[in-house]
Structure 1
Amino acid sequence: MSRTVELAESGFDPAALLARFNAQLDGEGGVVSFTGYARGAAKDGQSVEALVLETYRSMTLASMEQIAADAHARFAITRSHVVHRAGTILPGEAIVFVAAASAHRRAAFEAADYMMDRLKTEAVFWKHEVKGGAKSWIEPTEADMEDASRWADRQD
């Protein structure tokens, strides 16, 4: 089993991360990856100049590592890689990368989905958008919380 968690203070290349992840495979038959990008428009339609994610580095990393560990305990995955940006992120830049590998596809799909739902709702970040020079704090939405809650209701 291999589990990697990173908190990136600058941009990263999702394609390079996936290539490196795939190069380390050891016979797994399924790999699923997800990359999230900063949007240029807020939910209210206003242009977003930047997304800022503040952290308390050790606490944030610990929350991310727990999410990855829980995914390994819950699903039959052999390896995972999670990278999450912190700091100032411009529209179009990658915010998060998640990859999971397993003998078969289903576990990889479910583990990647699970990790993303929990990263969105539980990872320790303080987020705000910069619009028109002003900042507005961002919290997980009701839909984000519903997505995450479905894992509590399931037995895998």
Structure 2
Amino acid sequence: MFSVNISKEPLDVSSLMQNFPRSADETGAVATFTGFVRGDGISALTLEHYPGMTEQSILDSIHSAARRWPVQAVQVEHRVGELAAGDPIVWVAVGSGHRAAAFSACEFVMDYLKVSAPLWKRERDLQGNWHWVDAKSTDQDRAKRWGRGAIA
């Protein structure tokens, strides 16, 4: 089961984890990642997306991960709209028979979200000024480890 949900609603990480699909016979590991809005010098973060296109793009990255690693389930929950420092912004979960595949696929999907997903971010600084945020070079460097064209 692969799913992507983009919403303005707050993320309930406990509920998401409890309801993540897993098979008692096949799932030996579930790797999760929860990202939070950092408040270092900002008062808010706003995310915008193109409904339909963004979900399909993220789903394509999930299918790419599934071609690389034996995963049974991948779920991505991502917030959009205005978020405050400390708010959960993204939750990624990957279920697999073994931890190595779960960890790698989770990182792969998260790297895609950081550098290539069609999500646009603006930060409001402490003085109330807004500015657009580009992908960090450190995130781009991490994504390169998956090979040429893997994260596009």
The equivalent residue for 2:119 is: 125
Corresponding position: 1:62 with 2:61: no
CA separation in 1, counterparts of 2:71 and 2:133? Answer: 32
Aligned positions of 1:18-33 closer than 5 A: 18-21=17-20, 24-26=21-23, 27=25, 28-33=27-32
The equivalent residue for 1:38 is: 37
CA separation in 2, counterparts of 1:151 and 1:10? Answer: 32
The equivalent residue for 1:4 is: 3
Shift of 1:6: 0.6
Deviations 1:100-156 (A, max 9, x none): 011111000000010000110010011110112110110111111001010016xxx
Q: Mean Cα displacement is larger for which, 98-107 or 61-70?
A: 61-70
1:136 maps to a residue whose letter is H
CA separation in 2, counterparts of 1:67 and 1:83? Answer: 14
TM-score (norm 2): 0.92
The equivalent residue for 2:146 is: 151
CA separation in 2, counterparts of 1:6 and 1:67? Answer: 14
The equivalent residue for 2:133 is: 138
Question: In the comparison of the two structures, how many residue pairs are matched?
Answer: 146
CA separation in 2, counterparts of 1:72 and 1:83? Answer: 18
Deviations 1:77-121 (A, max 9, x none): 111110111111111111000000111110000000100001100
Runs (5+) with no aligned partner, structure 1: none
Superposed structure 1 runs of 4+ greater than 4 Å apart: none
CA separation in 1, counterparts of 2:55 and 2:3? Answer: 11
1:144 maps to a residue whose letter is D
Runs (5+) with no aligned partner, structure 2: none
The equivalent residue for 1:91 is: 85
**Higher-helix-fraction structure:** 1
TM-score (norm 1): 0.90
SS of aligned partner of 2:52 = helix
Shift of 1:71: 1.1
CA separation in 1, counterparts of 2:147 and 2:71? Answer: 19
The structure 1 residue matched to 2:105, chosen from 89, 111, 114, is 111
CA separation in 2, counterparts of 1:53 and 1:67? Answer: 20
The alignment's C-alpha RMSD in Å is 1.3
Q: How high is the sequence identity, in percent, across the aligned residues?
A: 35
